[in-house]
Amino acid sequence: MSVLLKELHEGILTLTLNRPEAINALTTEMLRELGKVLAKEAPAPEVRVVVLRGAGRGFCSGQDLREFEGQRISYKAHLRNYQSVVEGLANLEKPVLAAIHGAAAGAGLSLALACDLRVAATDAVFTTGFSKIGLIPDAGMNYHLPRILGYAKAFELSVLSPRLKAEEALALGLVNRVMASETFSEEVGKLALELAQGPTKTYGLIKRALRRSASATLEEMLEYEALLQEVAGRTEDHQEGVQAFYEKRPARFQGK
């Protein structure tokens, strides 16, 4: 059985981390597969939304601690394993939704943070985990966590590594929504479909603009927005959206 399952249905590419026996702990093979799919398959026009989830009883427990047992951490291997995956999630020009049930720990949480939206089942548990084993957060967590939560909370979660329940994560802004565990898959499916039926090319531009704002001045953003708006203005979905407004009917967006 593959360590990464892929399914494309109604414009939604669902990627399932599949090592349930270790709460989907990340191995080199799994990260390589994920990086490849994000680079080669996810950008295809028929994919309008990506959902990242875990098989079995949790989302992801982070780096597989058994894979490099007894070995020193290598800068090169670490970068090779994580860079393309984290950049792939963050830079893909379409919405990426992390659907988290059970545990999201260490680099598993980092992957969720690199996604655009995080939804949690009521049984979800979040922990940075790194400091508990004498490591610093990685896989982009030092970039994303302070941007999502602010410095003080990011520092607290990184250093003390508490286990947060879904409702606590929601209160902090770590996740966008909490959904009942019993109906989690259906609720995730509905949200993913709502996104997939939207003007997804424009969503990609929105993502690009928000990402750029992390390191830009107001003046730079005003210029960049104008540029991207010109691009959005040329999409078929913009035409359709305006036409639907005139005709007082729901728009039928194609992601073009």
Q: Given the rule CB under 6 A, which residues bind ligand T3D?
A: 22-23, 25, 61-66, 68, 73, 78, 103, 105-107, 127, 129-130, 133, 135, 138
Do the Cβ atoms of 63 and 129 come closer than 8 Å? no
Residue with tokens 């728009």: 251
Minimum gap (Å) between residue 109 Cβ and ligand T3D? 8
Do the Cβ atoms of 61 and 108 come closer than 8 Å? yes
Minimum gap (Å) between residue 220 Cβ and ligand T3D? 33
Minimum gap (Å) between residue 144 Cβ and ligand T3D? 14
Minimum gap (Å) between residue 133 Cβ and ligand T3D? 5
Nearer to ligand T3D by Cβ, of 63 and 202: the residue is: 63
Pairing of strands 96-100, 117-121: parallel
Q: Give the C-alpha separation, 85 to 37, whole Å.
A: 9
Please list the alpha-helical segments (H only) found in the chain.
28-40, 75-91, 106-114, 141-149, 151-160, 166-172, 184-196, 200-213, 218-233, 236-246
> Which residues face 165 on adjacent strands?
125
Nearer to ligand T3D by Cβ, of 168 and 240: the residue is: 168
Residue with tokens 């005139």: 246
Nearer to ligand T3D by Cβ, of 6 and 78: the residue is: 78
Supply the DSSP string of 136-165, one letter for each residue: ---TTHHHHHHHHH-HHHHHHHHHH---EE
Nearer to ligand T3D by Cβ, of 68 and 224: the residue is: 68
Nearer to ligand T3D by Cβ, of 127 and 202: the residue is: 127
Minimum gap (Å) between residue 42 Cβ and ligand T3D? 23
